Amino acid sequence: MGTRGYLAGKILQAFLTLVFVLCFNFFLFRVMPGDPAALLLRGTSAFNPENVEQVREDLGLNESLPKQFLIYMADTAQLNFGESFFLRGKPVNEVVADKIWPTVLLVGTSTIASIVLGLFIGIWGGWRRGTVADYGSLTFTLFVYAMPEFWFGILVLMAFGGGVGPFPSIFPTGGYETPGADLTGFAHAADVLNHMVMPFFVLTVAYLGEYAIIMRNSLTDVMADDFVTTARAKGVREKQVLWRHVVPNALLPTWTLTMLSLGFVFGGAITIEYVFSWPGLGWLTVQAIEAKDFALLQALFLIFSAAVIIANLIADITYMYLDPRVRAA
């Protein structure tokens, strides 16, 4: 069992988890009370006996359960998720493909910002454990952690989008770009950036609390270790003790938790995208809920789950490079 064995084990594990999610997704929509075909159409204008029979045919619901499962797996492997009802029969994979980029852009950048800021606040507070600085940063992070992110989003939207009282309206109240402006190149990028300021800020602040708390706990754990005392005893300067000895060791457990939560931010942006009408996967999810578009929801659930599994795998692989003990084992 060396590096290669560890890697193979982790990849196999991720693969098994993906298979579990696929099975779960299949049974979730079939074990539920009622006819899945009727369920898929429920509440939509397409709900009539003829369409239900058509969907039954498409989903292969007239076949036996094992056969249905094979059809489902084959369809999923070809990224065929059926048709979206609320978008009038547009294939689900096309609908989803259009929305991935805005979500990756918004969630990706704000996650990086919140991790960097959160870890820094955690280090800053944990190193000064028990001082006013520590209590101050702890209170701030706990407050941010306790806040429903969408509520903070609405308040920011009200203050800087709509404008209230002393706050001027600075930023556009939602969307990805100015509709109808038809900008290109640099002007278009600036326009998107202008629309992104508020949701980016809200997501960054909403998530940094979690990272800061994890980092602070990990840091105070490591600070109690003997090698820190040794480092001080041999005359290492305080700054060096922190950045050379404490932080690298405290980052290890934090790294796993950070990567784990990274997979969840995909789903976590659902409410923020909704508040700021950001045309990504999150807002699409809210629209799918409202329209009771289960074909779409099923595909989105699969994407969100796959994101977590991939993030976990990356965490495990990078951990191998960060922690020499894993390589040696």
Partner 1 sequence: MRPGTIGPPAEAPTPPPDEDVRVPHEVLLSPRRIVWARRKRAFQRTARTYRKSTMGMIGLAILVFFILVAVFAPLIADRTTMDPTSPTTGDAYEPPSAEFWFGTDNLGRSIYTMTVFGSRISLTVGLAATLISMSIGALIGIFAGYYGGWLETGLMRVTDWFLVLPWLALAIVLASLLGRSLSIIILVIGITSWPGTARIVRAQALSVKTRPYVERSRALGASNWHLISHHILPNVGPLIFANTILTVAIAILSETTLSFLGLGDPLAVSWGTILEFAFSSGAATTGKWWWLLPPGLAIVFVVLAFTMVGFALDEILNPKLRER
Please give the residue ranges that form the binding site for partner 1 (CB under 8 A).
17, 20-21, 24, 28-29, 32, 39, 142-143, 145-148, 150-151, 154-155, 157-158, 161-165, 173, 210, 213-214, 217-218, 220-221, 224, 253, 257, 260-261, 263-264, 266-268, 270-271, 274-275, 285-286, 289-290, 292, 294, 297-298, 300-301, 304-305, 307-309, 312
Query: Residue 101 is encoded by which pair of tokens?
Result: 């980029």
Instruction: Please report how close the Cβ of residue 101 comes to partner 1 at its closest, in angstroms.
Output: 19
The rounded distance, in Å, linking the Cα atoms of 14 and 6 is: 12
Task: Give the burial class of 88: count Cβ atoms within 10 A of its Cβ; 0-12 exposed, 13-18 middle, 19 or more buried.
Answer: exposed
Q: How would you classify residue 149: left for phi > 0, otherwise alpha for psi between -120 and 50, otherwise beta?
A: alpha
Judge residue 188's burial from the number of C-beta atoms within 10 Å of its C-beta, 0-12 exposed, 13-18 middle, 19 or more buried.
middle
Least CB distance from residue 87 to partner 1, whole Å? 17
> What is the nearest approach in angstroms of partner 1 to the Cβ of residue 274?
7
| One-letter amino acid of 109 | T
Structure tokens at 182: 């038809």
83 versus 149: smaller Cβ distance to partner 1 = 149
What is the closest distance, in whole angstroms, from the C-beta atom of residue 327 to partner 1 in the complex?
19
Residue number, 131 or 240, with CB nearest to partner 1: 131
Give the residue with the Cβ less far from partner 1, 147 or 188.
Answer: 147
Neighbours of 251 (CB within 10 A): 17
Q: From CA 189, how far away is CA 36, in angstroms rounded?
A: 43
Please identify, using beta-carbon distances, which residue of 73 and 257 lies nearer to partner 1: 257
Shortest CB 72 distance to partner 1, Å: 16
Kindly state the smallest distance separating residue 184's Cβ from partner 1, in Å.
29
CA angle 93, 97, 99 (to 5 degrees): 125
Least distance (Å) between residue 156 CB and partner 1: 9
Residue with smaller CB distance to partner 1, 169 or 240? 169
- Could you tell me which residues are beta bridge partners of residue 90? 84
Contact between 40 and 85 (Cβ < 8 Å): yes
Letter for the amino acid at 181?
Answer: A
Which residue's CB is nearer to partner 1, number 193 or number 260? 260
Q: Residue 6 or 188: which CB sits closer to partner 1? A: 6
Q: Enter the tokens of residue 247.
A: 């932080």
**Contact between residue 93 and residue 80 where contact means Cβ atoms under 8 Å apart:** yes
Between 242 and 311, whose beta carbon lies closer to partner 1? 311
Closest CA to 279 of 150, 97, 102, 154: 102
Tokens (6 digits) for 203 = 């997501």
Residue 147 DSSP one-character state: S
CB 67 to partner 1: min, Å:
23
